[in-house]
Amino acid sequence: MASAALSLTLSACSPSPPNFVSTDITGANYAKEFRLLDHGGNMRSLADFRGKIVVIFFGYTQCPDVCPTSMSTMSGVKELLGDLGNKLQVLFITVDPERDTPRLLSEYMRNFDPTFLALRPELGQLKGLAESFKVYYSKVAGKTPTSYTMDHSAGKYIFDTTGKVRLFSSYGTEAKVIASDIKKLLAYK
């Protein structure tokens, strides 16, 4: 009886996990780690961003709609977070390292927010990285060898301040919804 009362007392002291709108994937055994060069030539991993919420999106700079829409959404999220925006790190991982040069990636990031970083896997790294994040991508031939497009997954992975993947936000989720989920992650310890 005493152990049951103690158990109830302890559980009453623990905060309830937040109710997220994004899909809660806490404990997933994928989307864990990487070591990639950013658009400035610096080697990056999730550990570099401890203490921040990290949002990872896979895309490419010549994407006509999904990628710029998603990155604009993330700019809106940062704005909605106000002062908490300094606790957000957006990482854009290209699925088109053949065309997405560091210079092009740098210019692309400046269109959205100067703190957003683009990461560029080598062609040989891309397949394994995509598999480890359960991300789909495929080159679709165009009229010329360089006019191809890339089909790709369009969701965002959201990591907590300790570097653990917590949420998956589908393409089209509004900035206010993502911002609300991020605020919940920052408040939940």
Whether 20 and 55 have beta carbons less than 8 Å apart is answered as no
CA dihedral of 70, 117, 92, 102, whole degrees rounded to 10: 120
H or E stretch covering 175: helix 175-187
The answer to the question of whether 13 is labelled as a binding residue is: no
The answer to the question of whether 63 is labelled as a binding residue is: yes
Whether 171 and 155 have beta carbons less than 8 Å apart is answered as yes
C-alpha span between 165 and 133 (Å, rounded): 10
Count CB neighbours of 168 within 10 A. Answer: 18
C-alpha span between 44 and 167 (Å, rounded): 21
C-alpha span between 108 and 120 (Å, rounded): 13
* Residue in the block written with tokens 């290209």: 94
Buried b / exposed e along 83-94 (16+ C-beta atoms within 10 A): eebebbbbbbbb
Q: Which residues are annotated as a binding site for Cu cation?
A: 63, 67, 152
Q: Which residues are annotated as a binding site?
A: 63, 67, 152
